Structure 1
């Protein structure tokens, strides 16, 4: 059976600019053929079980030639696979998507195209540059700045100058001098504003604004990295007046978030809304235990329990998933009192229309144990469905203070996992990450396993509670702790630290 190929534009880097259709298609991919310019946050959306084929292409550095890429798409589709060709920006704007389609058509391979947000529009927008403005220009022209080695430009610079429109050159950093010279020699005003926009929509975004006559010199003085685009036109003079990204409280900051994958989005959304670039690299993932016999038996005897205690959102989710498998009605819990370790767990419980009878003021196992010991009675039967590696402090406090029967049942396992696509260790060694957010001691341990050999003194950690901070301190990280063990408090602490850092 022949599979299918989707040419998907990943946008400039910011995951908020990745289209909903692109994300939907990517999550169903069985094979992903991806470029070097695809943003890290987009790469993290690739399914864990997908086959990854890196065909990364940067200036003068090609992992795989275009003809080979075309052939790979055909070969993988002929295996019956759902193949996603993931490209930075838009696949049809200097992305050579047309060349890839030619072979697919020839071989009779079904395909779809999912357009992407191009850097030609989004990167200027993130730098406060409107590519058109009624008072400045009425046209926009997007030109490839790339040329074959040893060949001259096949660009009609004179025609471009006559348009009096905004000019955007993609992939032209290495030829910046030739481009500016070509425009000047065909009559462009030397004082025409021009800009080099570097790593747009990321925390490393910056711009160099000058004129066509001085831009090359200014770039040489300040230094530049790729990817970057060149913008020429009067609208470049509006950048300082219209800049907005730089005014966000976490602009220019890159934050690593290490929560379990299923719990990561809300934290990341809060940080992104404040302007941070968020790198989601779950240090752990949770999976329900294969053998749930003890939990099934407890559900059959649910009426014998006085307390049901949850120590994590995952514990809540796995418990109710098993209830559903056993075709149990929520009313079976009507006589049981509910205790949770904190607000995140309470929020997960509320999804089932239930509210906790007990939640300690401090969201720790010790605090939960003490609070529950005050409320329960001798002879109470307590059910605690939680992680296989659950801290025994909670159980110890209860059994030391009351004559209770506790069924401490492992319902899910915590698995430590690094990223197959992103080198976390290198990110910290390069100094590209400002802060790492840890929301449990388990995520600290998982991070350590994924970054073996890293000098942890280079890691600025923001921790959600005492146990998490203690785990980070043990590794020698530079640690801070949020005022409260909540996501909002963590975001506030990150913002506070970033403002001090400047």
Structure 2
């Protein structure tokens, strides 16, 4: 029995967050993903290791792969007992040829499911503040393809469509806009009817241009409107001034490169996305646990009672607790320890494991935290203070030096390696050459050093991009490597970095 299966999945109109939960589940279990041009490629990062990607994008008459060949590719892979995801922009059954693909699968006896998506004809217009229905303007809507079969005219009942008082939405209609507008006016639609073009709907390049039906063709040429664009006709267009929330977001249109590890990127990406910005995740760091760290930590904690534990990064927190959990450690043994943390993000990571930092440095430097620990030791009257310092193998020696100066015993345990992630080089160069990046964020000196190392002779590609640092040590590394520092966060936190970017945007 064939175990292969095909999921025809709608990826939504472009915004990463508009795919369904079921759609994400399908991506995560796929052996092969066959995807279109308008799919947000960040969605592909949810695929499992080893998943194969096949691009079959189409742009007007320029097709990477003909539809018959696409059908054949889907069926052949499913017949080889593969889980195949056919990932399509919008909804697979709304001018996405999903029906044709499903018919082929049915005829060949291949198991399949349809996973609906948010169609751009509704979701894309919503991001422009244009509802397809409204009690004062439209009690119905029509969605029409503006792209005909090869060598055919548009098969549309223009007389009926022109008399329709509701909203009319054309998909893929820019190439035929002159014919579309002429036919609507010829068959009775008021030439003064409000219309709008929404280009690149729901992504950071979105642009909404409004005009009248009689001016639409000239507007396309005058404004340089190109596909992919929605063309909407009707009174609801006038609501966009009030309801157009997306293009009013404070970081709308801004592009921000994030260089920290992908595991830690989610919080930063979500906050930037919420503010309307576009993130490009290029993790310059590769984090790997060192061998036997759980046993090493367990031995240290059994052998010695510490007064303080110091965490200077989110990674050290996660690896410390997860390693001890694997070893079956009873965390009640940490009850008398004072916990010290660099920055609010590290403190939040500690709270995830049921502990609260007693000492928190608002600065991103180990030296500042070390001084706070010495102050805490002096004021706390500890008889024989000692510090456990779980950290990266490339962590600065400043903590040891300051503790030594204060005659405080410190045990350092290197939990993980922190190395350059050369795997991103091709993607990084491609983005820097194709995209206009506004900001690059750096959350540690390593992110700066490794980015420059990855770029090599191409490092001047980032020369004119604004550089955002989490704190003074990272800022100095940026300068030491020959670049100007543009923005430094007031505190060592993601929220502070974003606030600094917002302040720069509003200058």
User: 1:122 Cα deviation (Å)?
Assistant: 1.4
Aligned partners of 2:344 and 2:362 also within 8 Å: no
User: 1:226 Cα deviation (Å)?
Assistant: 2.4
User: 1:330 Cα deviation (Å)?
Assistant: 0.8
The residue aligned with 2:468 is 462
Aligned partners of 1:13 and 1:42 also within 8 Å: no
Distance 1:136 1:321 in 2: 58
User: 1:296 Cα deviation (Å)?
Assistant: 0.8
What is the number of equivalent residue pairs in this alignment? 497
Aligned partners of 1:91 and 1:116 also within 8 Å: yes
Aligned partners of 1:428 and 1:459 also within 8 Å: no
The residue aligned with 2:322 is 321
Structure 1: where are the runs of 5+ without partners?
A: none
Distance 1:192 1:118 in 2: 24
Cα distance change on mapping 1:436 and 1:154 into 2, 3 Å: same
The residue aligned with 1:280 is 281
> Is 1:498 paired with 2:500?
no
SS at 1:214's partner residue? helix
Cα distance change on mapping 1:55 and 1:431 into 2, 3 Å: closer
User: 1:417 Cα deviation (Å)?
Assistant: 5.2
Aligned partners of 2:340 and 2:359 also within 8 Å: yes
Q: Deviations over 1:233-269 (max 9, x none)?
A: 1222322243222332222323233332222222222
The counterpart of 1:438, out of the listed 438, 442, 453, is 442
SS at 2:360's partner residue? coil
Cα distance change on mapping 1:451 and 1:165 into 2, 3 Å: farther
TM-score by length of 1: 0.91
Cα distance change on mapping 1:54 and 1:374 into 2, 3 Å: same
Aligned partners of 1:9 and 1:87 also within 8 Å: yes
Distance 2:395 2:29 in 1: 33
Alignment of 1:319-358 (within 5 A): 319-358=320-359
> Is 1:129 paired with 2:130?
yes
User: 1:39 Cα deviation (Å)?
Assistant: 1.8
User: 1:154 Cα deviation (Å)?
Assistant: 1.9
The residue aligned with 2:495 is 488
The residue aligned with 2:7 is 6
Q: Deviations over 1:376-435 (max 9, x none)?
A: 579755332222322233233333443624233233544515559x94434444453322
Distance 2:412 2:485 in 1: 38
Cα distance change on mapping 1:395 and 1:106 into 2, 3 Å: farther
Distance 1:232 1:16 in 2: 27
Distance 1:120 1:332 in 2: 58
Distance 2:100 2:393 in 1: 52
The residue aligned with 1:408 is 413
SS at 1:213's partner residue? helix
User: 1:202 Cα deviation (Å)?
Assistant: 1.5
The residue aligned with 1:392 is 397
Q: Deviations over 1:59-98 (max 9, x none)?
A: 1222222222222222322333332211111111111112
Q: Deviations over 1:283-307 (max 9, x none)?
A: 3342323x12x54133123040413
The residue aligned with 1:32 is 33
Structure 2: where are the runs of 5+ without partners?
A: none
TM-score by length of 2: 0.90
Distance 1:61 1:309 in 2: 58
Aligned partners of 1:14 and 1:41 also within 8 Å: no
Cα distance change on mapping 1:299 and 1:411 into 2, 3 Å: farther
User: 1:10 Cα deviation (Å)?
Assistant: 0.9
Distance 1:340 1:143 in 2: 58
